[in-house]
């Protein structure tokens, strides 16, 4: 992965955001993920696999009274995330922690979280046509920590009745539901429709679940991302450009 970066922005310029030119580059998924977390003042949020900090930064911009930790395995990526935190003056409430999902550091295991969000690698390790770029490979293809490990860690780190929110590929929904089974309830499945009013299949879903809940699953109408002309829908624009919250049950 090259150490060259580009200067970008999120939320219509509210967030200044540097990311590496090669490897994984944040698109809209982390922004939508952060918009889906309904944290209250004083609560603690953990972003598992935070990358260069896109979701963390967006959440910090929208919710000024929550404490956020981001866990990142890749050291150069974690360092870049710290620089992004400082550039946006969020260092008093947003901390980037070096660590591995498969062997979590004490910094995230000492006290339970109220919310965990994650954008895990969306390709299983057995997938073909894997990226050649090492940085993108790590970010998009599961390693030793498969999806079940991510969900298991979230369950262990969350307090009772706390929430886990994931954004993932729609074709991995079955794997997600298997991982949540018997440990999480109140599951909300929120499809992200590419456009055309639902005429195209959803490629991504946001899934929120409550630890130790027995509430039934809810299939949400979801969000249409684009209009027929390819422009973002007004609701999507509100999230991506103005930092609006995303109601998964609305």
Q: What is the pLDDT of residue 228?
A: 86
Q: Cα angle vertex 29, ends 130, 83, to 5°?
A: 90
CA distance 234 to 250: 15
**Stretch 166-179: mean pLDDT:** 97
Q: In degrees rounded to 5, what are phi and psi of residue 89?
A: 60, 40
Residue 22: predicted pLDDT? 82
Q: What percent of the chain has pLDDT over 70?
A: 88
Name the average pLDDT for the chain: 91
Q: Is the pLDDT of residue 104 over 90?
A: yes
Q: What count of residues does the chain have?
A: 250
Per-residue model confidence as pLDDT tens digits over 107-156: 999 999 999 999 999 766 555 455 455 555 455 555 666 899 999 999 99
The candidate with the shortest Cα–Cα distance to 206, out of 61, 37, 4, is: 37
Please return the burial class of 64, using the count of CB atoms within 10 Å of its CB with bins 0-12, 13-18 and 19+.
exposed
**pLDDT higher than 60, residue 169:** yes
Give the residue, 104 or 2, on which the prediction is more confident.
Answer: 104
pLDDT on residue 230: 87
Rounded-to-integer distance, Cα 131 and Cα 138, Å: 9
DSSP assignment of 66-116 equals -EEEEEES-HHHHHHHHHHHHHTT-TTTEEEEE-BTTB--HHHHSS-EEEE
* pTM for this entry: 0.92
Q: How do residues 216-226 score in pLDDT, each as one tens digit? A: 999 999 999 99
DSSP 8-state code for residue 228: T
pLDDT surpasses 80 at 239: yes
Helix axes 75-87, 54-62, angle to 10 degrees: 30
Q: What's the CATH number of domain 5-242, 3.40.50.150, 3.40.50.620, 3.30.300.30, 3.60.20.40? A: 3.40.50.150
Q: Give the model's pLDDT for residue 195.
A: 79
Band of residue 82 on the pLDDT scale cut at 50, 70, 90: very high
Query: What is the helix (H) or strand (E) element at residue 177, kind and residue range?
Result: helix 173-180
Question: What's the pLDDT tens digit per position in 174-204?
Answer: 999 999 999 999 999 999 999 765 578 999 9
Instruction: Please name the residues in contact with 182: beta carbons below 8 A apart, sequence gap of 6 or more.
Output: none
Quick: pLDDT tens for 61-75: 999 999 999 999 999
pLDDT of residue 247: 97
Output 141 or 206, whichever has higher pLDDT: 206
CB burial of 188-209 (b: ≥16 within 10 Å; e: otherwise) equals bbbbbbebeeeeeebebbbbbb
């Amino acid at each position: 992965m090259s150490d060259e970066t580009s200067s970008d922005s999120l939320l219509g310029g509210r967030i200044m955001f540097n990311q590496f030119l090669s490897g994984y580059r944040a698109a809209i998924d982390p922004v939508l993920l952060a918009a889906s977390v309904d944290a209250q003042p004083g609560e603690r949020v953990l972003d598992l696999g935070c990358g260069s900090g896109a979701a963390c930064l967006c959440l910090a911009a929208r919710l000024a009274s929550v404490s956020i930790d981001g866990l990142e395995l890749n050291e150069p990526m974690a360092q870049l995330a710290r620089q992004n935190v400082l550039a946006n003056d969020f260092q008093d409430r947003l901390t980037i922690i070096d660590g591995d999902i498969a062997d979590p550091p004490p910094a995230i295991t000492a006290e339970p979280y109220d919310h965990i969000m994650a954008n895990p690698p969306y390709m299983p390790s057995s997938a073909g046509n894997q990226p050649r770029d090492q940085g993108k490979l790590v970010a998009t293809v599961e390693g030793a920590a498969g999806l079940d490990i991510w969900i298991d860690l979230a369950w262990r780190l969350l307090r009772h009745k706390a929430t886990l929110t994931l954004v993932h590929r729609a074709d991995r929904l079955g794997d997600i539901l298997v991982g949540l089974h018997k440990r999480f309830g109140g599951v909300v499945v929120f499809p992200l429709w590419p456009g055309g009013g639902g005429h195209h299949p959803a490629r991504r879903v946001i899934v929120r679940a409550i630890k130790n809940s027995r509430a039934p699953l809810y299939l949400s109408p979801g969000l249409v991302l684009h209009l027929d002309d390819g422009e973002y829908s007004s609701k999507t624009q509100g999230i991506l450009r103005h930092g609006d919250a995303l109601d998964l049950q609305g």
